[in-house]
Amino acid sequence: MTCCLVRDLLPLYIEGDCETETERYISRHLDTCGECKRVYHMMKEPLDFGEAEMKAPDGYEEEERRFQERYYGRLLTKAACMFGAVFLIMLALKLLN
């Protein structure tokens, strides 16, 4: 097994999802290959992202406002059409009786 293949299998090895034979082989490989062992320890350590703040991109507020105007405008138009259609049906039924 090459280092490339071992590195591809490291996430499965860390999670314990490898076959027993594969696990033994990777373990032996890590004992003899310093670079793969370094990658293994790096992958095993949790990442600390700190207090990452998400900043909205420039113009986000304006774009969001335009989107809401279009979305709610269409929604309002659909609701008005539905109301009108129901009103006309009710009016037609009233006139037929």
Render pLDDT for 12-38 as a digit per residue (tens, 0 to 9): 999 998 899 999 999 999 999 999 999
pLDDT of res. 83: 95
Residue 23, classed as helix, strand or coil, is: helix
Could you read off the pLDDT of 44-95 as tens digits, one per residue? 888 776 776 777 778 888 888 899 999 998 999 999 999 999 999 999 998 9
pLDDT of res. 38: 93
Cβ(29)–Cβ(1) below 8 Å: yes
**CA distances from residue 74 to 64, 79, 85 in whole angstroms, order as listed:** 15, 9, 16
